[in-house]
Structure 1
Amino acid sequence: MGAVGSKDNISKTPNSTSLFLSRSSLVTKCDAAPPPPPPASSETTSSPAPVNHSSSETDSISTAAKAVSAYSNPGPFEQASQEAKYLVMLDTHDGFRCNINKQLSPYMAVVHSFWLGTNMIPDGRKKTYTWLTQVADESSYYLARVDPERLSVDGRAQRSLFGGLAMGKMQINVSPEGQTDQCLAEMDISGQTWTANLKYGSMMGGLAYGCNFYQSITPSFSMGGEGLYLGANKAMITNYLMKYTLPAAGDEVDGLASKKAAMTSEAPSSTFIAGYNTGQSLLTLNYKRVVTPNRVNLGAELSCNPMSLESQVVLGAEFKWSRSKLQVAVDGTAKMQSVLETKLGKEPGQPTLSLSAELDHAKDEMRFGYGLNIDG
């Protein structure tokens, strides 16, 4: 969550998060068998009522879908609001970006990332190059990124523990300046209806430790909280979050809506997310509307400080076609952002061309960029 006001202070350096292979925790399911029929009553008439087979099938599907959704895992706390935030926080850039991905084996890939002719790097450089390699299998993931110019190294390791019920993580960042060095160990623990995380390590020259917990209250409603202590500035940061998903009109039967969501990547729905950061006194409200599954998504974000009443609003939209995607966002200061991505061919693995633009009318600033993603 950013501070209230303009988001220009957020640095946009080449991000390896998009290359990070997210691994969901194991979700166990409990298939509830339908209850046995009641015993025959002595007052039953000789001519039984006709059986509605379509209604019986609908009831069985609804019961099975409710059993699956009732025992669903809500996922990591850090990712709870990402599905709504990506619609209003676009990755715009200036200059030219190029990512060359090379798959060396089924388990290993290497990425060469270039960023040329930019004014957005915080240290004032006009160009940058990073080399990234990642190795992954069914139970582990390892990533390393090297910036030869800054002589910085970022590393991340993950491994599944206890048969998939827990995930161990280690993150290391080292640079000659030492200002951003960190070593952080984490463990994700997953249950049928909840997830928890424990953190311990060193950040900004001091100890850091924290934890979070995220619980599904109902198939549509979940809530959780997080606490992090930073010894470098002796600050305690806490975050609280609530999330509610409302099926679209026409899906009156919750079981059918859950069944549809399980069969497709997403279903028509409305998602409301509320978060509060006590360190920044920042209240954030996010809304995501799936208008057409895998085609049209709408989003909105309202950030405000309850003490000073400063606020900011951002509206976003996403449109997907067979080989292209368009994202647009407009905030309360009339700053407009857009990102267009398209495949340069019909075959799988073809290069992807991206066009990025940002117009800030209040500051009279304009940024334009284009990028190319090549899979070797």
Structure 2
Amino acid sequence: GVGLAGILPQKPDGDDKKEEKVDYLNLPCPVPYEEIQREALMSLKPELFEGLRFDFTKMLTQKFALSHSVLMGSLEVPSQSADVIKVPTSQYEFGANFLDPKLMLIGRLMTDGRLNARVKCDLTENLALKINAQLTSEPHYSQGMFNFDYKGTDYRAQFQIGNNAFYGANYIQSVTPNLSMGTEIFWLGQQRKSGIGFNSRYNTDKMVGTLQVASTGIVALSYVQKVSEKVRHYYYEHELSACYFNQALTCKYTEVQVSLATDFMYNHMSRDVTSSVGYDYILRQCRLRGKVDSNGVVAAYLEERLNMGVNFLLSAEIDHPKKNYKFGFGMTVGE
């Protein structure tokens, strides 16, 4: 028979060698400036919803697809009282996607007349143009943004132009193989406001830590720790399976990835402080995310794959101090 010692990957002989010298002329390219907290956002900011949700996507060609989305639930109405007021609401959304390695077109049309559009076009290997637009029938509520992204070998730069005389720019640079630092500046011409911000991101194979500071008074920190990643479970079975070892032992495995995340935000202007802790548990057939914050809000989000292209969704958010409870379930069909 074959023992587990012959199955599990062996430790290479070179693991004990000294750490290689850092080549500062060949540093990796950092993540985009606006995505430095993407791991924490994926764990702590899932797409929670209330009511019934159904999403259907149909691929017409390899590059073109149509989508239909239905949401039936409740809408919170602003109120001066402490009580939460909700009214029933429903929404239908029609979408079209065109995906190409150098061109991406995404459009969404809602029943209330709103149109959301996104365009990403690779002008060269290093320069990309992004357009985000939201058009409404109400005057002065339509928005548009043009982004020019440049990707260097160890840095990224972005220039933004938007309506209402908005101008912005950011730059992020890899300082070491694990550390990147950046800065941003923006100007709102219509409101006569400007701001500047700084950020830093430190990441390894097991953790990601970020820090953001802005002249608007915002200080934000986040930390994500990967507890386990791609754990394989081996066991004997009598039936045929997908993989063999020396044609004697069959096995199946489940990829498990567990991450713990936390964030902290301080607003100097309003003196508000919020923090949250959460988890992200990824199995082969499902993904479970949950969090609890300093305001007493507890949330959980489950995505379970029932079949190829069919996912079941469960969403829950409980706000005990405000007595606001949100529960939702849904299904997505299509890839």
- Paired residue type of 2:41: K
Is 2:196 aligned against 1:238? yes
1:124–1:76 CA distance, 2 compared to 1 (3 A): farther
Structure showing the higher helix proportion among its residues: 1
CA distance in 2, matches of 1:235, 1:307: 15
Q: Which residue of 2 aligns with 1:100?
A: 56
SS at match of 1:78: helix
Q: Which residue of 2 aligns with 1:78?
A: 34
Is 2:138 aligned against 1:192? no
SS at match of 1:92: coil
For the 8 Å contact 1:70–1:218, the answer to whether it is kept is no
Q: Which residue of 2 aligns with 1:183?
A: 144
Q: Which residue of 2 aligns with 1:278?
A: 215
CA distance in 2, matches of 1:297, 1:137: 32
Is 2:227 aligned against 1:291? yes
CA distance in 1, matches of 2:165, 2:210: 31
Q: Which residue of 2 aligns with 1:23?
A: none
The gaps in structure 2 that reach 5 residues or longer are 1-11, 79-85, 230-255
CA distance in 2, matches of 1:166, 1:59: 40
The gaps in structure 1 that reach 5 residues or longer are 1-52, 248-266
Deviations 1:207-250 (A, max 9, x none): 111111011100111111112212231221333211112x4xxx
Q: Tell me the CA shift for residue 144 of structure 1.
A: 1.3
Q: Tell me the CA shift for residue 174 of structure 1.
A: 1.1
1:357–1:240 CA distance, 2 compared to 1 (3 A): same
Is 2:315 aligned against 1:356? yes
Q: In angstroms, what is the RMSD of aligned CA positions?
A: 2.6
For the 8 Å contact 2:27–2:176, the answer to whether it is kept is no
CA distance in 2, matches of 1:182, 1:315: 33
- Paired residue type of 1:85: L
Q: Which residue of 1 aligns with 2:129?
A: 168
Q: Tell me the CA shift for residue 70 of structure 1.
A: 4.4
Q: Which residue of 2 aligns with 1:330?
A: 292
Q: Which residue of 2 aligns with 1:140?
A: 103
Moved more, 66-75 or 291-300: 66-75
Deviations 1:292-314 (A, max 9, x none): 12510000011113466531110
Q: Which residue of 1 aligns with 2:262?
A: 300
SS at match of 2:28: coil
Q: Which residue of 2 aligns with 1:371?
A: 330
Q: Counterparts in 2 of 1:7-156, with a 5 A limit?
A: 54-55=13-14, 70-120=26-76, 126-147=89-110, 149-156=111-118
For the 8 Å contact 1:171–1:185, the answer to whether it is kept is yes
Q: TM-score, normalised by structure 1?
A: 0.72
CA distance in 1, matches of 2:172, 2:88: 40
Q: Tell me the CA shift for residue 121 of structure 1.
A: 8.5
- Paired residue type of 1:229: W
Find the partner of 2:119 among 133, 142, 157. Answer: 157
For the 8 Å contact 1:85–1:286, the answer to whether it is kept is no
1:178–1:322 CA distance, 2 compared to 1 (3 A): same
Structure showing the higher strand proportion among its residues: 2
CA distance in 1, matches of 2:201, 2:268: 20
For the 8 Å contact 2:55–2:331, the answer to whether it is kept is yes
CA distance in 1, matches of 2:58, 2:76: 27
Q: Tell me the CA shift for residue 353 of structure 1.
A: 0.5
CA distance in 1, matches of 2:107, 2:156: 27
For the 8 Å contact 1:69–1:219, the answer to whether it is kept is no
Deviations 1:114-165 (A, max 9, x none): 1112225889660111111111112111111111x21121212111122x11
Q: Which residue of 1 aligns with 2:301?
A: 339
Q: TM-score, normalised by structure 2?
A: 0.80
Deviations 1:335-366 (A, max 9, x none): 10001111113xx32x1001111111111121
Q: Which residue of 2 aligns with 1:318?
A: 280
1:308–1:176 CA distance, 2 compared to 1 (3 A): closer
SS at match of 1:118: strand
For the 8 Å contact 2:262–2:278, the answer to whether it is kept is yes
Q: How many residues align?
A: 291
- Paired residue type of 1:270: M
Deviations 1:307-331 (A, max 9, x none): 6653111010011111011111001
CA distance in 1, matches of 2:167, 2:87: 33
Moved more, 357-366 or 67-76: 67-76
1:213–1:121 CA distance, 2 compared to 1 (3 A): farther
CA distance in 2, matches of 1:121, 1:72: 47
Deviations 1:174-199 (A, max 9, x none): 10113431222211001111000011
Is 2:181 aligned against 1:223? yes
